[in-house]
Amino acid sequence: MAEIRAEMVANVWKVVAAEGQQVHDGDTLVILESMKMEIPVLAESDGTLTKLAVAEGDVIQEGDLIAIIG
Amino acid sequence: MLESVLVANRGEIARRVIRTVRAMGIRAIAVYSDADAGLPFVREADEAVLLGPAPPARSYLDIDAVIGAARQAGASAIHPGYGFLAENPAFAARVLAEGLTWIGPPPSAIEQMGDKISARNLMERAGVPVAAGTREPVTDAAAAVAEAGRIGYPVMVKAAAGGGGIGMAAAANPAELRAGFETARSRAERFFGNPAILLERYIEHARHVEIQILGLNDGSVIALGERDCSVQRRHQKVAEETPSPGITPELRDRMQAAAIRAGQAVGYRGAGTVECLVDTAAHDFVFLEMNTRLQVEHPVTELVTGIDLVEQQILIADGRPVSFDPLAITFGGHALELRVYAEDPRRFLPSPGMITDWAEPAGPGIRVDAGYAAGNEVTTFYDPLLAKLCVHRASRAEALGLAAEAVSAFVITGPKTNLPFLAELLASGEFASGDYDTSLIARLRPTPGAQRQ
């Protein structure tokens, strides 16, 4: 099981993946936006997206949980 | 003489424009969003008007709010800074229609240069060299692949209405081009509301060198030398210097002559910048785009010429002659600007937050244009530029030495900053040699996976 956490304060611009979906290493899960920059959050392993903890429009802080890949 | 100038911008550029406005004895009016109420530019203006909430669309990009603030404060002129509304021809036209003085070029010049396709075509007709590319918008991936076959790989995919590196991608083959085209088109639509795409032959090992021009009230256009802006990450500038260590006097002369033709072709007035790509192998250049506004990196030109570009913008907009003799411009020494960003120095990811400590370097040859101070919060709403650290010395070697001292003396705590990266840049053999190109940062920082823009 791999937890993916936010590396910075950002707004959640787009949720690309859905809970329960099979994902592969390098797939884009969510796109964050901060300081006029888009930051894709990528899967770092193959597996099932067991939890997606953010929704579009959320403001997230450094360290906040974004997703869990089981 | 103008009685007052409203500065329709924020952060370091608002503060820098306000400094000159006040030095000219003109009343300076700031506008600000809720998020920026505590920033130095608000305090340093003679008067400040709240525009609205933090999101740019509801404050700095809200034309009605800016015009309303100008009426409320009795402003006689508007200076747009850079970014936000600076290159919006509808805003410029509105300012003029309201009977205010617009401190910028004619709206028609902004419009002609704003679309990269029409600008390329216009420049080609004016005898300014352009890269091989498309003369009409490219509408789908198949058409892009066909055009690239004619132009030759590698090609650069660009949003016609783009800027800031958004919606740009280089492609070395049809597969990369199809992917780059779709990404560029969706970004172009989202960021600029215009999906038009163009292709241009991509020059590898290029330097990004731009010419500062001023269009005067007698209709003449003059050039004020170049700025080398080849140190870039994500197609955005990190360090700029003048003179460029990568061009010869002969190439500089040709570039300045072309930049003057570019300005004349659109009836330019005020300060503008003609951006070019220099092919270091061929010792030749092509037109990239024209920025119809004051440039972020204008201080390096000011340092070597002794000319205050904001003062010239204001004088020209007010119908007056510039403060120097256009036939006797002199260039002295070497100037370097380093952009201090709120971002981590490894991967360049944004790092907003509360600034707990802030101490700027100072001394002979050092100029700091800063937007923030201790106690200010850097928010996620705006770009990550905190300050511009500029140095001016007799030689490039001395300028680099002073810059390294100044970087180590600059203290910012709270948000992560790229100051450690700037120190690394100054210490790198490639930058120190002067023989570098736009892929310098990519070589210093091999691409991390999560950073595709």
Asked if B382 is an interface residue toward chain A (Cβ–Cβ < 8 A), one would say yes
Report the CATH number at residue B49: 3.40.50.20
* Residue B195 pLDDT exceeds 50: yes
Question: What pLDDT does residue B183 have?
Answer: 87
- Asked whether residue B160 falls in the same domain as residue B68, the answer is no
Question: What pLDDT does residue B446 have?
Answer: 83
Determine the residue among A31, A34, A66 to mutate to test chain B binding: the one whose Cβ has the most chain B Cβ atoms within 10 Å: A34
- Asked whether residue B210 falls in the same domain as residue B257, the answer is yes
Is B115 contained in some domain?
no
Taking the C-alpha atoms of residue A46 and residue B28, their distance in angstroms, rounded to an integer, is 57
- Asked whether residue B197 falls in the same domain as residue B210, the answer is no
Q: How far is CA B334 from CA B228, B255, B331, B389, B407, in A?
A: 12, 19, 9, 14, 17
Å between A10 CA and nearest CA of chain B: 7
Start-to-end CA distance of chain A, whole Å, equals 4
B234 CB neighbours in chain A (<8 A) are: 37
Question: What pLDDT does residue B451 have?
Answer: 40
Q: Check B380 against A11: CB less than 8 A apart.
A: yes
Q: Is-catalytic flag, B293? A: yes
Å between A20 CA and nearest CA of chain B: 22
Region B57-86 average pLDDT: 97
Last residue of a domain, one of B201, B233, B249: B201
Using an 8 Å Cβ cutoff, are B242 and B304 in contact?
A: yes
Taking the C-alpha atoms of residue B276 and residue B284, their distance in angstroms, rounded to an integer, is 10
Residues 6+ apart with CB under 8 A from B361: B368, B389, B405, B406, B407, B409, B410
Is B117 contained in some domain?
no
Taking the C-alpha atoms of residue A52 and residue A20, their distance in angstroms, rounded to an integer, is 9
Q: Is the dihedral of CA B204, B333, B293, B268 positive or negative?
A: negative
- Asked whether residue B192 falls in the same domain as residue B213, the answer is no
Q: Check A34 against B380: CB less than 8 A apart.
A: yes
Region B32-59 average pLDDT: 97
Domain that holds residue B230: 206-444
Chain A positions with Cβ closer than 8 Å to B: 7-11, 26, 33-42, 59
* pLDDT tens digits along B93-131: 999 999 999 999 999 999 999 999 999 999 999 999 999
Question: To the nearest 10°, the Cα dihedral for B249, B255, B258, B260?
Answer: -80
- Asked whether residue B248 falls in the same domain as residue B151, the answer is no
Region B9-27 average pLDDT: 98
**Amino acid letter, B231:** V
- Asked whether residue B187 falls in the same domain as residue B213, the answer is no
- Asked whether residue B194 falls in the same domain as residue B213, the answer is no
Count of helix runs (H) and strand runs (E) in chain A: 0, 8
- Asked whether residue B55 falls in the same domain as residue B178, the answer is no
Question: To the nearest 10°, the Cα dihedral for B179, B183, B186, B187?
Answer: -160
For residue B314, what are its two tokens? 């204001």
- Asked whether residue B177 falls in the same domain as residue B223, the answer is no
A26 CB neighbours in chain B (<8 A) are: 449
User: For B34-48, B130-144, B181-195, B433-447, which range has the lowest pLDDT when averaged over its residues?
Assistant: B181-195
For tokens 């009409």, the residue is B136
Question: What pLDDT does residue B447 have?
Answer: 64
Question: B141-151 and B174-192 helices cross at what angle (nearest 10)?
Answer: 120
Question: What interface predicted TM-score (ipTM) does this complex get?
Answer: 0.77
CB burial of B234-246 (b: ≥16 within 10 Å; e: otherwise) equals ebbbbbbbbbbbb
For B271, how many CA atoms within 13 A lie in the half-sphere containing its CB?
A: 29
Rounded to 5 degrees, φ, ψ at A4 are -115, 120
Taking the C-alpha atoms of residue B53 and residue B39, their distance in angstroms, rounded to an integer, is 15
Using an 8 Å Cβ cutoff, are B423 and B338 in contact?
A: no
Question: What pLDDT does residue B450 have?
Answer: 38
Question: What pLDDT does residue B165 have?
Answer: 75
Q: How far is CA B344 from CA A34, B282, B352, in A?
A: 13, 36, 10
Report the CATH number at residue B313: 3.30.470.20
Percent of chain B with pLDDT over 70: 98
Using an 8 Å Cβ cutoff, are A34 and A10 in contact?
A: yes
- Asked whether residue B242 falls in the same domain as residue B365, the answer is yes
Q: Check A8 against B352: CB less than 8 A apart.
A: yes
* pLDDT tens digits along B159-178: 998 877 777 889 999 999 99
- Asked whether residue B197 falls in the same domain as residue B296, the answer is no
Write the residue in A10, A26, A35 that is nearest to B384 by C-beta. A35
Start-to-end CA distance of chain B, whole Å, equals 46
Q: Out of B227, B293, B339, B367, pick the active-site residue.
A: B293
Contact pairs from chain A to chain B, CB under 8 Å? 47
For residue B402, what are its two tokens? 């002073």
Using an 8 Å Cβ cutoff, are B415 and B378 in contact?
A: yes
Q: Name the residue in chain B with its Cα closest to that of A36.
A: B383
User: What is the pTM for the complete model shown?
Assistant: 0.93
Write the residue in A37, A40, A59 that is nearest to B350 by C-beta. A37
pLDDT bucket at B381, cuts 50 / 70 / 90:
very high
Question: What pLDDT does residue B156 have?
Answer: 95
Question: What pLDDT does residue B449 have?
Answer: 43
Residues 6+ apart with CB under 8 A from B301: B212, B224, B225, B227, B242, B307, B309, B335
Write the residue in A8, A40, A42 that is nearest to B351 by C-beta. A8
* pLDDT tens digits along B278-303: 998 899 999 999 999 999 999 999 99
Fold of A2-69: OB fold (Dihydrolipoamide Acetyltransferase, E2P) (2.40.50)
B353 CB neighbours in chain A (<8 A) are: 9
Is B438 contained in some domain?
yes
Q: Name the residue in chain A with its Cα closest to that of B164.
A: A36
pLDDT bucket at B361, cuts 50 / 70 / 90:
very high
* pLDDT tens digits along B201-218: 999 889 999 999 999 999
Taking the C-alpha atoms of residue B217 and residue B315, their distance in angstroms, rounded to an integer, is 10
- Asked whether residue B142 falls in the same domain as residue B278, the answer is no
